Structure 1
Amino acid sequence: MTPAAPCHRRYGWQRKSSGPRRGTRTMMKMIWFCYAFPILMQEPRRTRSGAQFSPWDTFTAYDPAKLSALGFAVHQTAVSLEELIEGMERDRSGGTQEDPQDSEDEGHPDAEERTSGPLLPIHAQPQQFIFEYFSFPFIDPPPPKIGSSSPAASQPRLPLSPLVNSQPSHSSSRPASGLSHAQERKIEYNKNRRRKKRQRNAANPFNWATTSAPAHLVMSAQHVPVDFDASGLRSTKGGHWLGVRDKNPPKLKNQPESARWAKLQLPQVGELVDDLKRVYVSWDARRPLLILDRYGRIIVVFVGGPDDPEWPSVAAEAGEAMKRAREEGIRTNAFADDAGLHRRGRFYTLQSGVSHGGGQPCPRNLDISDAKQPLVDSLLGNKSVRRVCGFQSSAFRTWAPKLFKDYVTDLRDLFEHDPSLRLNFTNSIFPSVTFNLGSQSATFEHLDDKNRALGWCAITSGGDFDPTKSAHLHLRELNAVVEFPAASTAFIPSAVIHHGNTPLAPHETRYSITQYAAGGLFRYVKYKFRTAKKVLNEGGGNLKRSFDGVPGERHAAGISLFSKPEELLADHVACFGGKS
């Protein structure tokens, strides 16, 4: 005979059950309907004397509040020593002296049953025992006995037998929130899933992008049009990857680098406005300020900060962190003798991040001396500094979505190609940062020609100064002088627009955090992770021109990445999805 094939429930091994198994529940139902339920439903029986008798009378006749002996039913919970001795002598002599407490049962309808019934364990009360042991989820347990005024009735019962589970059954208990256990597990699962997603995104800022569009910011922005065409911004020939190098002032033969900048002076506001006829722009940092070119493209943006009353204190704490780093660097001789004078100004700086250029065979992390490394680490690990840099990246996405997406696409490929490259912050896409440590970080007019030609550089100022009189940001090509208060941020194409600050008063202080991206990083990615020299060696000028495009094509493509105010919401939808 062929043996019977095993009949296993299909996919039964995949089922996750939080309660008892199906076979156990079926057995409990059978016990209930075959044993317990018929006993509860049977009619009272009659004794030989004609009195009616119910199997439950024995258990309901006693008041549970008066039963305190472990496992036995007693009538009296407190007995004096004299009464015990008297009872023992009565038992020995066989006397039948009446107990004074027996008079309480005279005339009681259940007196015969109460005195003649068997003494059984407390946990042998069938109704309570059945419901506590089997924990039927489909039947409510019997209600407690009404009229019990003894304090013992409100006390929890002790488990008198290993078969009895005196705790509430899992199936009948519900969380305090009113949700079922399955609903709470689902909520907890979704919460953990979102937390893990945030952790993954936090480890890589290129994967994080919200779909919300800042409609309220776009509608409230202040527009400042200027008579300038952004297409005229100068960049290097060929691929237009970098800005044009600024040779003013020229370097003399055998002249130290610091001596080249020794005679430079910061221009006063009056000189810029009266003599150079630049437009003065007053700004209180409450509404975003957009500087538009002749065709309405957003070239420069000033933003005050996130909608948080604590933001000024965050920027102030970041400034204090830079002040502490400068003082510690001076104390430990971390800065060179001429480090306080350079082409950007008279103040100490610290840099960190990834760069490419100057003959490097590939992008690499910036070299930081052993003396400066603790100072850089203290700033990168500061919560306020991290928040400022994260806000810069977020505001970049808000006001230039097409440019932001282009940054993300190329920089993500770069960091995935070379895992040895390190980002400064997990909440910012900018690969490089410079901390201007003050105490008066006001820059000479200059170009950051090594940055991406038509990209943005983010600058956040901090310190204690009067923005109506000091530290203005002047932009040569746009012919503008803008008030730049502390705790506010500016975005400018620093590689193609000359920019600088006006001087501060002697008692004033100013610090700044700048994030940017070197143009060589994007060129390296577009060249299929090769340098320009290697491309020429492998394929000659034709291969290089295929990457660079026809003259002016890449420059025009870079200009098209600047959004217009009326197209900003549509650009957000096109780049990140969502609804406008």
Structure 2
Amino acid sequence: MSLSTRTTRSGREFSPWSIIPTVFPLQASLGRAIEAEDGMFRASRTVAEVDVGILGYSDQEETSDPPSPPSSPPPSHSVLLRGHHEHVELAEARMAAVSEPLSLPSQQTSVSPAPYRSSGRKAHAKAGKAKRRATKRLLAREARDEQASFAHKIRSSVAKHHPIPPSVPTTTNARLLKHSKGAWIGARHSSGGKTLTLEEVRKLNFEFVSWNGIDPQVITDQEGRIVIALAGRPVGDPTWSDAIEGLTEAAKKVAVDTGLYKRTWSHRRGTYPTVAMGVSYGGGQRSPQPLALPPGIRRAMEHFAGNNHVNRVVNFVQSCFTFYAPKMCKYYTEILQALFSQPTWWMVCCCGFWAFDHTKGGHLILWPLKKAIQFPSGSAILLPSALVEHGNVPVQEDETRFSFTQYAAGGLFRWIDSCLCNS
């Protein structure tokens, strides 16, 4: 045994190999294997030739030409048969050797297959995948239901057969109404905070619009665009008065629980108590945030928002918004769902309720349109509060009136349009 090393191009040695000299006749072995294979091929070909000779069949018999005379006499049948039997016996022996099954030891130990056991890791992964799929389907179903409940599309048959409400035209161009830069919020007006009596409104040459609070009407500008929608109330629904009564009781409970009447109120909208709840943006806020409320008022407002009668009024308002302004409602749903689980309203909905004479007080004043509209209890009105400055005429001394208003701050739309930035 001798050791040999290999070197790289740089001359460094590596990997010593042990060389063991052997004497193996490789060429002779290959020659014997080739001769054996050729012998088997010749033997199989001889068997085929003998079979053909015994049967007396040749490919030449199929042709019409007469066979050519043999150059040598054919062999006798005894020689053919003897050669045939020898090759047949040789072929049978080879086939028997090949087809003979391999015998196994008699004392071989039998091994039973192990029972199949499912992998715990695979079973856990499969269960987790099924759970995730179920959760995904549930969330998608809830999203579809929420989308359908807040931004449903009015059927064409309903919109076609619904009677067109009468319109009250004005000489105002809605495009020229005052607003702030960017048109996200309305401009401040000098009339804010003023409380006018019914006689003072008449002296300003306002046009009074008589409305029963049931039949819908619309107020249009000089181009025929709908600016205000007097939606009214559900027609032919005897239970609507019960819903308004329940809304009134819920509002009275909020006033009692929060002690609103024990304080003196004075703000830019008037000298009456008011409570706001929800998410807003503006007034120095750096991002949309819920309005800060004392714990007692917050609990009272949460209880008010969960009242069934309140939710019924809200659902009716949402259906009115979808009917009178379907494109705007779709825009609200698509934009505000990025911040909330349900859309809120830039087109304000006002709903006045409790016992008062709507012909002697409670009128809705529309300052830029020079209109004063009778506003009966339990009816709804839709208006763009950022463009149309509005207010109410006080009711009589012995009467009380509540107002339920739904709106969305214009700063929320500016926040979304600015890619969730404050500028």
Per the shorter chain, which TM-score range?
Answer: 0.5 to 0.7
**Residue number among 303, 316, 319 corresponding to 2:231 in the alignment:** 303
Q: Check whether the contact 1:217–1:288 (CA below 8 A) recurs between aligned residues.
A: no
Q: How far off is 1:225 after superposition? A: 0.5
Q: Which residue number corresponds to residue 327 of structure 1?
A: 256
1:413, CA displacement in angstroms? 2.6
- 1:402 alignment partner, one of 319, 327, 349: 327
Flag the 1:298–1:414 CA change in 2: closer, same or farther, 3 A. same
- Provide the alpha-carbon RMSD of the alignment: 2.7
Within 5 A, what are the aligned runs for 1:370-389?
370-389=295-314
Structure 1 segments unaligned to the other structure (5+ residues): 2-194, 250-260, 416-422, 432-454, 533-580
Determine helix, strand or coil for the equivalent of 2:254.
Answer: helix
Paired positions, count: 286
Which structure's CA Rg is the greater one?
2
Match of 1:285 in 2: 213
Classify the secondary structure of the residue corresponding to 1:320. helix
AA partner of residue 267 (structure 1): T
**CA offset digits 1:272-308 (Å, max 9, x no partner):** 23x2111111111222110000000000011111232
Counterpart CA distance in 1 for 2:305 and 2:173 is 38
CA distance in 2, matches of 1:456, 1:467: 23
- Percent identity over the alignment? 33
Secondary structure in 2 aligned to 1:413?
coil
Matches within 5 A, 1:311-350: 311-330=240-259, 337-338=263-264, 340-350=265-275
Give the CA deviation at 1:341.
2.6
- Preserved CA contact (<8 Å) 2:153 2:322: no
- Relative to structure 1, is the Cα distance of residues 217 and 290 closer, same or farther in structure 2, using a 3 angstrom cutoff? farther
* Residues 1:248 and 1:295: Cα distance change in structure 2 (over 3 Å): closer
> Structure 2 vs 1, CA of residues 207 and 498 (structure 1 numbering), >3 Å: closer, same or farther?
closer
Structure 2 residue 344 is the aligned partner of structure 1 residue 430? yes
The aligned residue for residue 152 of structure 2 is: 209
How far is the alpha carbon of 1:220 from its aligned partner? 4.0
Which residue is equivalent to 1:412? 337
Q: 1:360-399, CA deviations, whole angstroms, 9 ceiling, x for partnerless residues?
A: 2221222221121121111011111111112112211110
- Correspondence for 1:233 among 163, 168, 177: 177
- Alignment partner, residue 487 of structure 1: 378
Partner of 1:147: none
1:471 to 362, 366, 380: 362
1:392/1:356 CA distance change after superposition, 3 Å: same
Alignment partner of 1:369 out of 294, 297, 301: 294
- How do residues 81-480 of structure 1 correspond to structure 2 at under 5 angstroms? 200-201=143-144, 203=146, 208-213=151-156, 214-215=158-159, 218-237=162-181, 239-248=182-191, 264-268=194-198, 270-273=199-202, 275-307=203-235, 308-330=237-259, 337-338=263-264, 340-415=265-340, 429-430=343-344, 455-480=346-371
**2: distance between equivalents of 1:355 and 1:367?**
10
CA contact (8 A) 2:363 2:375 kept: yes
Change (3 A) 1:279 1:287: same
Structure 2 residues without counterparts, runs of 5 or longer:
1-98, 100-137
Tell me the CA shift for residue 200 of structure 1: 4.6
Shift of 1:323: 0.8
Is the Cα–Cα contact under 8 Å of residues 220 and 287 in structure 1 kept in the other structure? no
TM-score by length of 2: 0.62
In the alignment, the residues of structure 2 paired with residue 490 and residue 469 of structure 1 have an alpha-carbon distance, to the nearest angstrom, of 19
In 1, Cα distance between the equivalents of 2:310 and 2:386? Answer: 24
- Deviation, 1:246, is 3.0
| Residues 206 and 408 in structure 1, CA contact (< 8 A), matched pair in contact too | no
State the shift of 1:525 in Å: 0.9
Q: Report the alpha carbon displacement of residue 247 of structure 1 after superposing the two structures with TM.
A: 4.7
Give the distance between the partners of 2:168 and 2:209, measured in 1 at CA: 8
Instruction: Tell whether the 8 Å contact from 2:151 to 2:333 is kept in structure 1 after alignment.
Output: no
3-state secondary structure, aligned to 2:394:
coil
| Equivalent in 406, 417, 422 of residue 526 of structure 1 | 417
Code of the aligned partner of 1:317: G
Query: What CA distance in whole angstroms lies between the structure 2 residues aligned with 1:285 and 1:198?
Result: 38
1:333-378 Cα distance to aligned partner (Å, 9 max, x none) = x78844x332223332222111111232221222221121121111
> Using a 3 Å threshold, how does the CA distance of structure 1 residues 531 and 196 change in structure 2: closer, same or farther?
closer
Distance verdict in 2 for CA 1:211–1:471, change over 3 Å: closer
Report the Cα distance in structure 2 between the residues aligned to 1:461 and 1:216, rounded to whole angstroms.
30
1:407-441 deviations in Å (ceiling 9; x for gaps): 112112333xxxxxxx5xx5xx216xxxxxxxxxx
CA offset digits 1:161-193 (Å, max 9, x no partner): xxxxxxxxxxxxxxxxxxxxxxxxxxxxxxxxx
Partners of 1:481 and 1:519 in 2: CA distance: 25
Q: Secondary structure at the match of 2:353?
A: strand
> Which one-letter code corresponds to 2:215 in the other structure?
R
Distance of 2:326 and 2:245 partners within structure 1: 29
Q: Displacement, 1:207?
A: 6.2
The change in CA–CA distance for 1:240 and 1:336 in structure 2 (over 3 A counts) is farther
Contact 2:150 2:318 in 1 (8 A): no
Alignment of structure 1 residues 550-569 onto 2, 5 Å: none
- Give the match's secondary structure for 1:464: coil
SS of the residue aligned with 2:276?
Answer: strand
Q: Give the whole-Å Cα distance in 1 for the aligned partners of 2:261 and 2:396.
A: 25
1:95 is aligned to: none
Cα 1:314–1:201, aligned 2, differ >3 Å: closer, same or farther?
farther
Matches of 2:251 and 2:407 in 1, distance apart?
A: 18
